[in-house]
Amino acid sequence: MKVIDGSILEGGGQILRVSVALSAATGKPVKIINIRSKRTRPGLQPQHFVAVKAVAQISNAEVKGLQLGSKELEFVPHQLREGDFFFDIGTAGSTTLVLQALMPSLAYTPGEVTIRVKGGTNNPFAPPVEFMQCVLVPTLKRLGYEASVGMTKRGFYPKGGGIIKAISKPIRRLSPLTLTDLGRVIKIRGFSFSSRLPPSVTEGLTSGAEAVLRRAGYQDISIENESRKSWESQCALNEGSGIFLFAETTSGMLFANDALGRKGASDQKTGMDVAEGLLSQFSTGAAVDLHLADQLIVWAAMADGVSVLRTTQLTLHTVTCLEISKKILGIEFQIEGREGEPATIRIEGKGIKNLSTLA
């Protein structure tokens, strides 16, 4: 059994999610110690508890130490399952981080899987549901993996209550990725959204973003305004707002940036800041969004062949994913570049196969 030290590098929930994700996808048991030891509230919190429980249910795993606050966990996976599953975090914890832990194993199930997760859909320090839908899933299609992600109800902190839905189709094996050519930006799309707030909120977010993008010379811009009222089914349980922008290039690369609205902050300024953050990624000449890079590592590690990713910024999260993937799968990787700067990552995937006759 591989032992993973949860205190290394990023030292947070990502180590736990990557460990159980790779364990379930490959059938390799793992033991994680010092879980989230670098966080102010170490150990398993509700979101992490549900993520492990969800992956365990999909993989028929035996789990020791699965309780709130636990700092040590043993995860022994068995046969992956198909079917429909529903997981309720019970708080406003991130639904997308639960899905992030699930998706690698979903690629290797014997048949189609439908997942619903209840909690927060747009959280600080977590990918929004729009990122999964518009950036991650289309990029994973390049590996041959087919999935869809949608939202039936939005959820903000503190009440949560949002619901996302994912449908996953299994694959025999994953193809490697070569993402090194930035290309030229051809269009920018986005969503400004709010619940239980006046329409002026989303209008301010959109106008701020559009002003920055047009000033930079971009013309093909479309940002949808979603202003939900309390009686609408998709409306969140409490007030909240945000903006998500993404860009597509001639080489098919996808970049994104987002932010949640804050009380007392100018909506227009928030929109401007998000647009400026998106534009700053283009200036590096690199091809992979800095928030996408770390999420692709697990997939490249499982793929059949060598993947090469040129990312706009090497983050600690990306390095952490590489080290955990090496520990569990024995992959080899090389990095050209330093943390906080553009970098090229080369990963020799292990060619994990789906042995199910139905895949």
Gap between the Cα atoms of 91 and 188, Å rounded: 33
The radius of gyration computed from the CA coordinates of the chain, to the nearest angstrom, equals 20
- Whether 317 is catalytic: yes
Residues 6+ apart with CB under 8 A from 143: 171, 174, 175, 176, 177, 299, 303
> Pick the catalytic residue: 48, 78, 291, 317?
317
Gap between the Cα atoms of 314 and 334, Å rounded: 12
Residue 19, classed as helix, strand or coil, is helix
CA distances from 213 to 159, 189, 218, 219, 261 (A): 33, 11, 6, 8, 19
Gap between the Cα atoms of 276 and 247, Å rounded: 13
Contact 75, 32 (CB under 8 A): yes
Query: CA dihedral in degrees (138, 140, 146, 151; nearest 10)?
Result: -50
Residue 348, classed as helix, strand or coil, is strand
Gap between the Cα atoms of 174 and 180, Å rounded: 19
Residue 322, classed as helix, strand or coil, is helix
Gap between the Cα atoms of 224 and 267, Å rounded: 15
Cis previous bond, 128, omega within 30: no
Place of tokens 């701020």: 208
Catalytic amino acids? 317
